[in-house]
Amino acid sequence: MTHTAPEGTTDSGTLTIKGKKVNPDTGAVGDAVTVENIPESQGATFVAQWKYRQAFVAQLKNADGTWSNVTTGGTVSSKLKGAKGSIDAGDGSGKDEDAYKKSGVAYFVDDGTFVEAVAAPKEGYHFEGWYDLSNPDAPELLSSSPTYTYNVKDRHTGCVYARFTPRTYTLKVSKSVTGNMGDKRAYFKMTATFTGLKAGQTYAIEYSDASAQGSHALVARPNDRAETVENKTAFTADGQGKATVPFAVKDGLTVSIKALDYNAVYTVSEDDYSSLGYHAELTGASGTLNGPRVTVAVEAKATNSRQVAVPTGITRNPIYALAILAAGVLLATGMVALRLRRGSKRGGRL
């Protein structure tokens, strides 16, 4: 755009461009562009140089499945990879082509510039991917790699979102009953104790057999009153992130406590049934949930064995066996002799 002051006048021209100045680094909108004191009979020339706005935002998945623009789960940064583009390093040194930008800060770059965006998940969180949310109802996955590089010419103006999800864990408690007198239909009481959960957070409980939900009478002596335990489908941590969860299990049943938090501590215990002849063994009964994968299944296994020696009526000791055999022979011989004696008294008939 060129403006020339009227020829033959002494008045210097003043030109105001409609629109606003935009900071090329931060995207901040300023005042209208005004050029004053244009020399007489001379012009003012404006050259438009187009740059494209780029922004990178970290998002965290909430418990209800929605997303928030926060850096709780991780941070993002970006840098330019071409000589054509440059951004302010923010350290007073001026422009720096390798300078990084923080999450959520938009800046403008030249056409053809390569931009490298980097996502860094925080401890206890997982990076899910870079997304384009131009259509909120159908998010487009751009890259599942923490480092995402693209050409501004291909995307022009845009905003990409780095999505982070909390690492969660499932505690699976399984039961098996063994032994020749073990009751595979009986329910046994177990308890899972947690610390380090989110205060006030509700956690789901699932059962491998849907019929296990609800109340169940526990194994007991025939004349004893059986205790009853209710198998719930959820529980809520208290204000200190603690919870005690009782449940009833039987042979072949697995109880899954889901979406537990990173670094939560658990302990699994079982009531004492030794008075009923059951011997219990627990494996994986305690630990801290901090594995590296997105979703981890931790198993605690309980085995109740009840073995009773059943008398067969026949001893395996050879001496006793021979004695029993000899007694049998003598008994049979005596019976025959008795019948012969009775027969002789009756005229020789047996």
pLDDT in tens, the chain (350 residues): 444 455 555 445 555 554 444 454 444 455 555 555 555 555 556 555 567 777 888 999 998 889 999 989 998 887 766 534 344 434 443 344 444 445 555 667 777 778 888 899 999 999 999 999 988 899 999 999 999 988 887 666 678 899 999 999 999 999 999 988 888 999 999 999 999 999 999 999 999 999 999 999 998 877 788 899 999 999 999 999 999 999 999 999 999 999 999 999 999 999 999 888 888 888 888 999 987 765 566 777 778 787 766 655 555 555 655 666 666 666 667 666 666 666 665 555 54
Write down how long the chain is. Answer: 350
- Is 145:120 a contact under the CB 8 Å cutoff? no
pTM (two decimals): 0.65
Using the structure block, give the residue that is written with the tokens 């935009």.
22
Q: Which two tokens stand for residue 96?
A: 């720096």
Looking at the domain that runs over 168-305, which CATH code has it been given? 2.60.40.1140
Looking at the domain that runs over 51-166, which CATH code has it been given? 2.60.40
Q: Which two tokens stand for residue 284?
A: 């994986």
Domain ranges of the chain: 2-45, 51-166, 168-305, 316-350
d(CA 350, CA 345): 10
The domains spanning 51-166 and 168-305 adopt the same CATH topology: yes
The widest CA-to-CA distance across the chain, in whole angstroms, is 176
Strand pairing category for 168-178 and 295-305: parallel
Helix (H) / strand (E) element for 169: namely strand 168-178
